[in-house]
Amino acid sequence: MQEEFDAIVVGAGPSGSACALTMAKAGLSVLLIERGRFPGEKNVSGGVLYGQVLHQLVPNFWEEAPIERHINRRIITFLSEESGLSIDFKSAKFNHAPYIGFSILRAKFDRWLAEKAEAAGATLVTELLVENVVKRDGRVVGVEVAGDKLFAKVVIAADGVLSRLSQQAGPRSDLSTKDVNLGIKEVLNLSREKIDERFGLRGNEGIANEFVGYCTRGVQGGAFLYTNAESLSLGVIVQARSLIENQFRAIDLLHEFKKHPVISPLVDGGELVEYSAHLIPERGLEMSPQLYTDGMLVVGDAAGFVLAAGLILEGNNFALGSGIAAANAVIQARTENNFSKKSLARYERLLKESFVLQDLKTYQKVPQFLENPRMYKSYPDLACAVMEHLFDPGGLPRKRLWRIVLDAAKGKVSFWQLLKDGIKGARTL
């Protein structure tokens, strides 16, 4: 292996592999390092991937990538202890690539994307832990692995939410339990026929279902269930600090979620084939580090690029978009033979022009709004109670809807709290 490259990318998740692929296609010498036995081994995702970003990098990728199902239905479900109220959205637009979403299993998908980078000319090395960045005269010039040093004009930190590299290089401070969510997930094998029957699917159709309410027992967060070709991905995602304060274990929340009367019939008979946990950046721009320094860029989860806007949790597209933007900044820097901090600042400008920083800025106040504990118990309970009263009057004369809402809200939330939260939510979203 050569000891000096144009770029070294640390981490072969979507951001790192997209970055390596883009640079390799432009003719740069690229080293892509992954600490797992193969790309995707240490990644966890429930996973829905939207097609527009990757389609620009790998046209018609869905014809060769290991996708599971086409996600043409999105469901949001509010859970009380015994009930569930769902908003079920389906659009014919979502039947056509690249607008469609795809359920993926990261162990398969990440390996495929890294292999695309390798086929384009990048050197992929696995089972290698990057221990330190190497600096010279205050700038990053490479990485240290197993006591050896590998040099490059620029290093791309795509090493996940805890990102040792960005901490060592200086552009990032330590994270707190308020900054991260804990995601815990299972994959359950289930036949295609049972999945199609239980979820009302045909052909390669799939659903993505997000849940809020009783599934987290008051802990800040939510749950998800996605259909794959012959399996289900399901799990809970909760803020680490809220989990500690409420004295729950995430695994217990997951087990209780699977037993809920709304969920149990859907997962019955599923065979557990994968279990994993992962930290997820939660506070968006508030926790984002300095994205560039002399000789180094930070992408994906390492940069905090996850949109955690309540029932919207999206990270794959932000990872791909940031990786591509970083690669384009490096390509231009190589043309100018200038990898200084000033030159690499082009990366942030590219992000500001893209959906990545624009979406994160649009929803930057959402994390504070979601700290409201009523979002995870009072309001889901209220929504389900209203529907129970509406459809089961118990042989009594029916009330007007506003009276049903007020009666259901007693003991859960006051009228003024409801009004204040509604106004704040409208301003935030």
Domains parsed from the chain with CATH numbers: 4-66+105-173+289-353 (3.50.50.60), 180-281 (3.30.9.90), 369-428 (no CATH)
8-state DSSP, 284: G
Any idea which of 15-29, 98-112, 305-319 has the lowest mean pLDDT?
305-319
Beta-carbon contacts of 285 under 8 Å, excluding residues fewer than 6 positions away, are 304, 357, 360, 361, 364
Beta strands in 100-147 (DSSP E): 101-104, 123-125, 130-136, 139-145
The token pair at 95 is 């039947």
Cα–Cα distance between 104 and 41 in angstroms, integer?
14
**pLDDT value, residue 109:** 94
Q: Is the pLDDT of residue 117 over 70?
A: yes
Closest by Cα among 429, 416, 418 to 382: 418
Percent of the chain with pLDDT over 90: 58
At 199-234, the pLDDT tens digits run 999 989 999 999 999 999 999 999 999 999 999 999
Torsion angle, alpha carbons of 389, 393, 397, 401, to 10:
20
pTM: 0.90
Residues 13 and 158 sit within 8 Å (Cβ to Cβ): yes
Residue 157 has pLDDT above 90, yes or no: yes
- pLDDT tens-digit map of 16-65: 999 999 999 999 999 999 999 999 887 766 678 888 899 999 999 999 99
Dihedral sign, CA of 122, 1, 131, 339?
A: negative
Q: Which of 38-42, 102-106, 110-114, 358-362 has the highest mean pLDDT?
A: 110-114
Mode of pairing for the β-strands spanning 130-136 and 123-125: unpaired
35 is written with which tokens?
């600490």
Q: What is the pLDDT of residue 361?
A: 85
What per-residue confidence (pLDDT) applies to 184?
92
Separation between Cα atoms, residue 379 and residue 357, nearest integer Å: 30
Residue of higher predicted confidence among 147 and 294: 294
Would you place residue 406 in the very low, low, confident or very high pLDDT band (cuts 50, 70, 90)?
confident
- pLDDT tens sequence across 70-102: 998 999 999 999 999 999 998 887 777 776 789
Residue 342: pLDDT over 90: yes
Q: How far apart are CA 249 and CA 253, in angstroms?
A: 7
The arithmetic mean of pLDDT across residues 281-300, rounded, is 83
